[in-house]
Amino acid sequence: MPVSVLPAAAAALSEPTSVALAARVQLAAVTTPLLAAPIPTAYVAAPEPMTGGGPSVLLIHGFDSSLFEFRRLLPLLEPHAPTWAIDLLGFGFSDRLLSPDLSPGAIKLHLHSFWRQMIDRPVVLVGASMGGAAALDFALTYPDAVAGLVLIDGAGFAAGPAMGNLMVPPLDSWATAFLRNPRVRRSISRQAYCDKTFVTPDAELCAALHLACPGWKEALIRFTKSGGYNFLAPKIPQIACPTLVIWGEQDRILGTQDARRFERAIAGCELVWVPQCGHVPHLEKAAETTAAVLPFLGRLG
């Protein structure tokens, strides 16, 4: 039976895609090389049985976020491919308290352990924002596990969060308190969308649910102090798997230059622009994002 890991505030979710996803969040005890105890990991599983021989899809969220980012994209993809979503180590509703290491290296080991335990076949990694960097790092280390990459306004070239310079006491507590502030989070959400009407009470709740999880502040500090994915840019040309980049034309978070940088750096990379869209095409233009992803999946067989 699924084990709910969502805080009580999830009962106030109101939009159908949010309510439907919340009902499917499960907890897996993932055995990793990081420590002796298994790590409780939040995920949404692909429906079973699934017809067709194409690769599975694994959705990876961005910084200080959760699998709720994919509440609109996942139901559009899963009729066509076995589609999973996961909360990375130290993020979302996965455990933050057990592992002392919440660096990108630890996140990658945990992700690979989840993949091996739960999926164990080549996957297409769909990474949004920081999730794109996590997907790139994973593909560079475990190429046999990756059938393809989809980067949705992905990080990798961009520097890590600016708040990293503040992660020394007592500024670290101030920085995370600032990020917890509802007005600050609303401002970030409004910047992420081209169409501000998407910043609904339900969307704000989806973006903030994980803040109630134990250790949120401490985990955010530990990850940010690790330096994040700032090491990744020189390695991106080594990516050898098929890669699709999807980018909102009005991205005000990362801008648009990195879309072309990915296209130039990765051999055979395909770039699809999403018009009238900000940093989160998977939320703001889910149908258009799906229409870009499905032909890519089809070519992978």
The string of pLDDT tens digits covering residues 207-262 is 999 999 999 999 998 998 888 999 999 999 999 999 999 999 999 999 999 999 99
Mean pLDDT of 127-136: 97
Using alpha carbons, select from 162, 145, 119, 149 the residue that is nearest to residue 28. Answer: 119
E-strand ranges in 38-131 read: 39-44, 56-60, 83-86, 123-128
The string of pLDDT tens digits covering residues 45-82 is 987 645 556 789 999 999 999 999 999 999 999 999 99
Mean pLDDT of 97-121: 96
Using alpha carbons, select from 225, 223, 2, 215 the residue that is nearest to residue 98. Answer: 215
Contact (CB, 8 A) for 129 and 160: no
**Tokens 């989809």 — which residue?**
150
The confidence score (pLDDT) of residue 287 equals 98
The confidence score (pLDDT) of residue 225 equals 87
Is residue 5 very low, low, confident or very high in pLDDT (cuts 50, 70, 90)?
confident
% of residues, the chain, pLDDT over 70 = 91
Is residue 169 very low, low, confident or very high in pLDDT (cuts 50, 70, 90)?
very low
Is residue 110 very low, low, confident or very high in pLDDT (cuts 50, 70, 90)?
very high
The confidence score (pLDDT) of residue 179 equals 80
Average pLDDT, the chain: 91
Mean pLDDT of 191-219: 95
Is residue 167 very low, low, confident or very high in pLDDT (cuts 50, 70, 90)?
very low
| DSSP code at position 205 | H
CA dist 265 → 39, 160, 161, 179 (Å): 35, 19, 23, 33
Sign of the torsion formed by the C-alpha atoms of 161, 99, 25 and 246: positive
What is the signed CA dihedral for 274, 70, 151, 161, rounded to 10 degrees? 100
| DSSP code at position 91 | S
**Is residue 138's pLDDT more than 70?**
yes
Instruction: Tell whether domain 8-300 is in CATH 3.40.1390.10.
Output: no
The confidence score (pLDDT) of residue 51 equals 52
Least confident piece of the model among 87-91, 98-102, 186-190: 186-190
**Is residue 1's pLDDT more than 90?**
no
Both structure tokens of 48 = 């079973």
The confidence score (pLDDT) of residue 170 equals 42
| 127 beta partners | 60, 151
Q: CA-CA distance, 49 to 172, in Å (whole number)?
A: 46
How many Cβ atoms sit within 10 Å of the Cβ of residue 174? 12
Q: CA-CA distance, 277 to 258, in Å (whole number)?
A: 16
The confidence score (pLDDT) of residue 163 equals 46
Q: CA-CA distance, 298 to 301, in Å (whole number)?
A: 5
Q: CA-CA distance, 135 to 139, in Å (whole number)?
A: 6
Q: CA-CA distance, 249 to 270, in Å (whole number)?
A: 15
Is residue 171 very low, low, confident or very high in pLDDT (cuts 50, 70, 90)?
very low
